[in-house]
């Protein structure tokens, strides 16, 4: 039994959906569960819609119309006129229509998950319809009834016992009758509300299903030839890894390597299930395998770039030393606002942390910190992490930039740059 995950880039247009069908057809005879992300940049567009609705701005309806037209255009190119999928798309988008008719009453993160999740619901309707239209027997599955989470909106915490019981109860029988198509990135609460598993969380969805079903492997189909040592958009002469250990992959994703969601690897490692990262434009290419016993070879450092960073410096109001008690309070506030620290450093009088900038989270965190501490910050920064670094590589990535913070250990160097 195989689990395939297709990201937004692989289904950004009608040709992408057609190619997805060809990839799956090449594995005819296998039981396959297909996890699909929102199409193209739909999640970004739905985030803009969420903010427009929450803030009451005039561009809310134009944004929504653009999102709908994008999906209808893809469906028209695939099916022409009159296909039942158009009703399925309309019935899915009406969930947003119902929500935005009224003034927002709920917390931003709750609203975010209810709106942004519609991207995956629509994309999987289209993909499932295309499979059946072209003779691939498939069943559409609402993932929210199978991956169960708590009420932490935007970062749903999976209830593994309940999830495992739901998946193992009914999905094996469905796989005996054809392909199963479901959504990435989403979960459901006990109150039947939608949660998301964290940005780019479809990889994690695939690993959850694989672990619960005892899959042979997970393949995540990307627009790159495999896992590279650096993002080719930022660096020339990148190299592809043929294989990586689970441990190295976890380290890379922890520091922000965007090719795999950070939570993806651990369930697969626990179940000893290999993860393959392969190019959807060349399905026969070997890609990269993440597996037990892999030999890590690093001809060049692994370079991971995180943009839009904030550097916070926090100190006590009375100029006292930053003690363990202060750190406990600070980390308590970071946890309360669900803010992850990407890099940190403590001096006698201050604690400094580099974090991702998310406007709503940051403002709330800032206000609560200021109630007890002095806070200074710099924004619009870049964090670069180099695994298996050389001094020459560090000098190269920092050339001509202002270094605001730098740390090195045996295997890893991190620099915050302006």
pLDDT tens digits for range 84-104: 999 999 999 999 999 999 999
Q: What is the pLDDT of residue 257?
A: 85
Look at phi and psi of residue 200 and say left if phi exceeds 0, alpha if psi is from -120 to 50, else beta. left
Residue ranges, the chain, pLDDT below 50:
none
Question: Looking at the whole model, is its pTM more than 0.95?
Answer: no
Spatial separation of the C-alpha atoms in residues 44 and 41, rounded to whole Å: 5
Spatial separation of the C-alpha atoms in residues 218 and 2, rounded to whole Å: 6
Which residues contact residue 346 at a Cβ distance below 8 angstroms, ignoring those fewer than 6 apart? 322, 327, 352
Q: What is the pLDDT of residue 405?
A: 97
Q: What is the pLDDT of residue 308?
A: 96
What domains sit in the chain, N to C, each tagged with a CATH number? 2-290 (3.40.1160.10), 302-417 (3.30.2130.10)
Q: What is the pLDDT of residue 141?
A: 98
Q: What is the pLDDT of residues 377-403, one digit of tens each?
A: 999 999 999 999 999 999 999 999 999
Query: Are residues 68 and 113 in contact, defined by beta-carbon separation less than 8 angstroms?
Result: no
Spatial separation of the C-alpha atoms in residues 50 and 64, rounded to whole Å: 10
Q: What is the pLDDT of residue 128?
A: 98
Q: What is the pLDDT of residue 369?
A: 96
Spatial separation of the C-alpha atoms in residues 201 and 44, rounded to whole Å: 14
Q: What is the pLDDT of residue 42?
A: 98
Q: What is the DSSP letter of 102?
A: S
What is the pairing mode between strands 288-290 and 243-244?
parallel
Q: Identify the CA nearest to 315 among candidates 267, 289, 349, 276.
A: 349
Query: Are residues 136 and 179 in contact, defined by beta-carbon separation less than 8 angstroms?
Result: yes
- Residue 311's DSSP bridge partners are 354, 378
């Amino acid at each position: 039994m195989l689990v395939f995950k297709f990201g937004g880039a692989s289904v950004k247009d009608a040709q992408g959906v057609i190619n997805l069908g060809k990839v799956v057809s090449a594995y005819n005879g296998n039981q396959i569960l297909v996890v699909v992300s929102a199409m193209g940049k739909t999640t970004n567009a739905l985030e803009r819609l969420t903010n427009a609705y929450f803030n009451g701005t005039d561009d809310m309806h134009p944004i929504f119309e653009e999102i709908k037209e994008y999906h209808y255009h893809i469906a028209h190119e695939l099916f022409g006129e009159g296909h039942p999928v158009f009703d399925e798309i309309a019935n899915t988008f009406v969930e947003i229509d119902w929500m935005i008719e009224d003034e927002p009453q709920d917390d931003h993160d709750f609203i975010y998950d209810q709106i942004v999740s519609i991207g995956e619901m629509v994309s999987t309707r289209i993909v499932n319809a295309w499979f059946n239209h072209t003779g691939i027997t498939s069943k559409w599955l609402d993932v929210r009834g199978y991956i169960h989470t708590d009420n932490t909106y935007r970062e749903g915490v999976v209830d593994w016992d309940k999830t495992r019981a739901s998946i193992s109860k009914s999905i094996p029988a469905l796989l005996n009758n054809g392909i199963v198509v479901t959504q990435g990135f989403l979960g459901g609460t006990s109150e039947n509300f939608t949660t998301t598993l964290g940005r780019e969380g479809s990889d994690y969805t695939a690993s959850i299903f694989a672990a619960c079903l005892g899959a042979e492997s997970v393949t995540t189909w990307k627009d790159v030839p495999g896992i590279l040592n650096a993002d080719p958009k930022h660096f020339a002469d990148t190299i592809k890894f043929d294989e990586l250990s689970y441990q190295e992959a976890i380290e890379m994703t922890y520091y922000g390597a965007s090719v795999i969601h950070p939570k993806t690897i651990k369930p697969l490692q626990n179940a000893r299930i290999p993860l393959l990262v392969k190019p959807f434009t060349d399905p026969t290419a070997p890609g990269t395998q993440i597996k037990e016993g892999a030999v890590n070879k690093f001809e060049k450092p692994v370079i991971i770039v995180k943009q839009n960073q904030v550097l916070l410096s926090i100190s006590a109001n009375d100029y006292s030393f930053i003690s363990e008690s202060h750190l406990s309070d600070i980390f308590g506030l970071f946890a309360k606002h669900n803010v992850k620290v990407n890099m940190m450093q403590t001096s006698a009088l201050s604690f400094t942390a580099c974090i991702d900038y998310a406007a709503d989270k940051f403002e709330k965190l800032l206000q609560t910190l200021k109630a007890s501490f002095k806070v200074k910050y710099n924004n619009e920064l870049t964090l670069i992490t180099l695994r298996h670094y050389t001094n020459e590589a560090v000098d190269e990535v920092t050339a001509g930039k202002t270094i605001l913070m730098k740390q090195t250990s045996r295997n890893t160097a991190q620099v915050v740059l302006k």
